[in-house]
Amino acid sequence: MNEGTLQGEARFRRRAIKVDEAMRLVMEALELGRQESVPLWEAAGRRLAEAVSATTDWPPFARSGMDGFAVRSADTALASPGAPATLRIAATVAAGALASADVAPGTAVRIMTGGAVPPGADAVVMLEQTTDAVVDGQPAVLVKRTAEPGQNIAPRGEEFRCGSVFAGPGELLRPGHAALLGTFGYAHVPVYARPRVAVLATGAELLPVEAPLAPGRIRDSNSAMVAALVAQHGGVPVLLGRVPDEPGAAAQAIVDALQQCDLIITTGGVSVGDYDVMASLLSFLATDHPAGKEASAASFASAAQTAAKPGLLPQDSRLLFNKAAMRPGAPTSAAVLSGKLLLALSGNPGACFVGFELFAKPALQRLQGATPEQAMPKQVTAQLAGSFTKGSPHERFVRARLYTENAVLCAAPLGFGKSSMMASIPEADGLIRIKAGSEGAVEGDIVDVIVL
């Protein structure tokens, strides 16, 4: 097989599927990721892998809601500012301690916020409603307001009963969850692991970032961008460098990535050129390939034989799609190899960026425990601030700046929007979805926007 012409005429027979359908296929292909136990202080921002429940009633005892005096409410029934109830102080209790005496009729116990309410008391009077006194040489307190039963007391089990679940699998842990987990003794927390994501760039024209430019060559900027996006969305990027436009070398690199990573993202080599290596490899996984679906994995494996041992690639590989009805990034492709997702993104920076947001980000969220619905990109409606009249046979995803004016969310298309252009990527905080058609959209239209 001639590697230089591996795609052949198949490059022109790729069927584009709708973006929403492509996203659905990606979600269906993914299984929940690995699980691990992490120290409590590392758990915030992760999703739970197992349900967690209260290990005791909370509060575990009746506790005071403020500084004051624990009393029997009946002893204050007639209290008023002009005729306060006089109670002898029997003891003092601080948070973390127990009172040395019960509250007997005619007595009170000085108590601090969070302190355990002593037996006999059914109310706490705040300090501001009392005055210190001395009766027969003994410390006492004058209570100037009637106390109601239960006043300023949090009863045992008011918030949680022992065994009650307070967070379930897939729930995104926030700092408030950390407080609850600590309260119930979870020094380590079962969460979904951060996915290890292989980042692999293809293309003979690519140079290392630190290399000087040479005629016809460009620096590999996509790997750094994709790695940063992976880290931003909870993954652990594993940069595997660059591979030349040779199917065998690319196949070997993918096999190596499968051994150490949960998700593989490649950039470049997905278009219809003679040397687009990822398109060449993935074309053999297409169900409509002349060799037939049954032989597709073996055909894929044969592409690696010049650089890898025969049969090294997984035999259970399948193509999800090799073209999406979108601009930019129509050649974006996806496949499943040994149960792991391979996303082949465009080499054009703008298209690579859009492809990541549409497919890689949701995949990362799903691997970290999000439901398919939670993992999908967040979408809102906005008023188009500026026209984008260029038509397209495919849906367009236009980089935009979002802002609010007169309580209306607006989306302003950014300049330098071609797939190969990078200037507007740092400013983009939204992707305007413009439906396929000959006219595009005009200023003032209400459009769907994916929030970045």
Q: Give 133-142 pLDDT, tens digit per residue.
A: 999 999 999 9
- Output the DSSP codes for 14-63: PPPB-HHHHHHHHHHH-----EEEEEGGG-TTSBBSS-EE-SS-BSSS-E
Question: CATH 2.170.190.11: which residues of the chain?
Answer: 63-154
Q: Comparing 96 with 229, which gets the higher pLDDT? A: 229
Over residues 302-330, the pLDDT tens digits come to: 444 443 333 444 667 889 998 999 999 99
Which amino acid, one-letter code, is at 428?
Answer: A
Q: What angle do CA 329, 333, 338 make, to 5 degrees?
A: 155
Taking all residues of the chain, what is their mean pLDDT, rounded to a whole number?
A: 88
Residue with tokens 């594993």: 238
Averaged pLDDT for residues 367-375: 96
CATH class of 379-451: mainly beta
State what percent of residues in the chain have pLDDT above 70: 88
Write the pLDDT tens digit of every residue in 161-209.
Answer: 999 999 999 999 999 999 999 999 999 999 999 999 999 998 878 888 8
**Band (244; pLDDT cuts 50, 70, 90):** confident
Q: Which two tokens stand for residue 307?
A: 């650089």
Structure tokens at 442: 């005009």
Spelled out in words, what is the top-level CATH class assigned to the domain 37-58+159-192?
A: alpha beta
Residues of the chain with CATH 3.90.105.10: 37-58+159-192
pLDDT for the residue 417: 60
Structure confidence at residue 269 (pLDDT) = 73
Question: Where in the chain is CATH 2.40.340.10?
Answer: 379-451
3-state secondary structure of 198: strand
Lowest-confidence region among 41-55, 237-251, 299-313, 433-447: 299-313
Compare 223 and 305 and report the one with higher pLDDT.
223
Looking at the predicted structure, is the pLDDT value of residue 420 above 80? no
CA dihedral 233, 239, 243, 248 (to 10 degrees): -80
327/425 Cα distance (integer angstroms): 15
Task: Give the position of tokens 């307070």.
Answer: 166
Q: What is the pLDDT of residue 359?
A: 98
**What is the distance between the alpha carbons of residues 188 and 166, in angstroms, rounded to a whole number?**
16
Q: For residue range 26-72, list pLDDT tens digits in order.
A: 999 998 899 999 999 999 999 999 999 999 999 999 999 999 999 99
Return d(Cα 393, Cα 188) in angstroms, integer.
52
**Which residue ranges does the chain devote to CATH 3.40.980.10?**
3-34+193-375
Select the highest-mean-pLDDT range: 289-293, 331-335, 346-350, 358-362: 358-362
User: How much is the pLDDT for 157?
Assistant: 97
* Distance (Å, whole) CA 304 – CA 277: 11
What is the predicted pLDDT for the residue at 17?
Answer: 94
Residue with tokens 């210190």: 132
Please say if the pLDDT value at position 232 is more than 70.
yes
Written as six digits, the tokens of 93 are: 């209790």
Question: What is the pTM for the complete model shown?
Answer: 0.83
- Cα(249)–Cα(271) distance, rounded to whole angstroms? 18
Q: What angle do CA 126, 130, 135 make, to 5 degrees?
A: 135
The answer to whether the CB of 36 falls within 8 A of the CB of 193 is yes
Determine the pLDDT at residue 168: 96
Domain 3-34+193-375, second-level architecture = 3-Layer(aba) Sandwich (3.40)
Q: Is the pLDDT of residue 333 over 80?
A: yes
- Determine the pLDDT at residue 283: 73
Give the residue, 302 or 295, on which the prediction is more confident.
302
- Predicted local confidence at residue 5, as pLDDT: 45
The partner residues of 85 in beta bridges, in order of sequence, read 143
Give the pLDDT confidence score for residue 301 in this predicted structure: 47
**Which residue do the tokens 């309410």 mark?**
117
Position 303 scores a pLDDT of 46
The CA-based angle 356-16-371, given to 5 degrees, is 45
Sequence-separated (6 or more) residues with CB below 8 Å from residue 305: 248
- The dihedral through the CA atoms of 285, 17, 386, 404 has a sign that is negative
Is the confidence at residue 211, as pLDDT, over 50?
Answer: yes
CATH of domain 63-154: 2.170.190.11
Question: What's the pLDDT at 287?
Answer: 46
Measured between alpha carbons, how far apart are the two ends of the chain, in Å? 43
216-246 burial: b if 16+ Cβ within 10 Å, else e? eeebbebbebbbebbeebbbebbbbebbebb
Please tell me the predicted confidence (pLDDT) of residue 272: 55
- Token readout for 422 is 């990078």
Rounded-to-integer distance, Cα 127 and Cα 221, Å: 65
- For 6-27, write each residue's pLDDT tens digit: 445 555 567 899 999 999 999 9
Residue 177 phi/psi, 5-degree rounding, is -65, -35
Nearest partner of 375 among 32, 36, 17, judged by Cα? 32
- Do 402 and 382 contact (CB within 8 A), yes or no? yes
